[in-house]
Amino acid sequence: MIRVLVSGAAGRMGATVCQAVAAADGLELVARADPALGVSVADAIATAAPEVMVDFSLPHSAVANIRAALAAGVHAVVGTTGFDLSALDGLDGANLFIAPNFAIGAVLMMRFAAEAARHMAAAEIIELHHDAKLDAPSGTAALTAARMAAAVPERGAPPIHSVRLPGLVAHQEVILGDLGQTLTIRHDSIDRSSFMPGVILAVRRVGDLPDRVTVGLERLLWNDAGGTTAP
């Protein structure tokens, strides 16, 4: 059994992760950390001895949570976005896995968009999220733009437009245009359960990853994804 701590457990994503971990074979939910619960990550690590921390907290607290986990030898699976990855430079300890989006459909959308960028003249990205999301653009949109720019370096990253409205969960479309035609690649997460298969996969794999830092769920899905650091 893999012993799992969930950071940000009082939030909507954190609560969904807790349910998914508790229901998954081979995983045991041993602690929930969140300021709203009066439990810090450091306290949860000290009392529950987890092997993996899943962090869906807030951008301003995620780095401290990650530092505390890695220093204690606890692997970290991080879905929090909106913080600078360079803040984690030089960290030693356990393995760190970060993904801006754990929905497998969203990962496919990013892969298809990068391929399409090689063949279409121009593109723009529209990302739409619930009104409580703090960062804009989303981590998924930023990573999509980076992957598209890497596919066609001379063109650079496409523009990103962010929408925040009640009633939304997580949605993104990449619109590509060329002579007399357009192509739209869209992914919709209509429920937070869409992220859970990816989260559970990362929890199971993070301890065995060959690199200390791995970014992107595609690194767990395809052998040709290449590299383990952010683009």
CA distance 185 to 170: 14
Q: Is the dihedral of CA 31, 32, 37, 39 positive or negative?
A: positive
The per-residue DSSP string of 136-178 comes to: SS-HHHHHHHHHHHHHSTTT-PPPEEEEE-TT--EEEEEEEEE
Please determine, for residue 65, whether its predicted confidence score (pLDDT) is greater than 50: yes
Please determine, for residue 119, whether its predicted confidence score (pLDDT) is greater than 70: yes
Q: Which carries the bigger pLDDT value, residue 151 or residue 224?
A: 151
CB atoms within 10 A of CB 7: 33
**Which one from 133, 161, 171, 187 is the annotated catalytic residue?**
133
Please determine, for residue 127, whether its predicted confidence score (pLDDT) is greater than 50: yes
For residue 32, the surrounding DSSP H or E stretch is strand 27-33
CA distance 231 to 143: 8
The topology under which CATH files domain 104-190 is Dihydrodipicolinate Reductase; domain 2 (3.30.360)
- pLDDT tens per residue, range 129-187: 999 988 899 989 999 999 999 999 999 999 999 999 999 999 999 999 999 999 999 99
Domain range annotation of the chain: 2-94, 104-190
CATH 3.30.70.20 fits 2-94, yes or no: no
Question: Which residues are within 8 A (CB) of 46 and not within 5 positions of it... i.e. 6 or more apart?
Answer: none
Question: pLDDT band at residue 188, thresholds of 50, 70 and 90?
Answer: very high
**Which one from 60, 75, 119, 129 is the annotated catalytic residue?**
129
129 is known as an active-site residue = yes
133 is known as an active-site residue = yes
Q: pTM for the full model?
A: 0.83
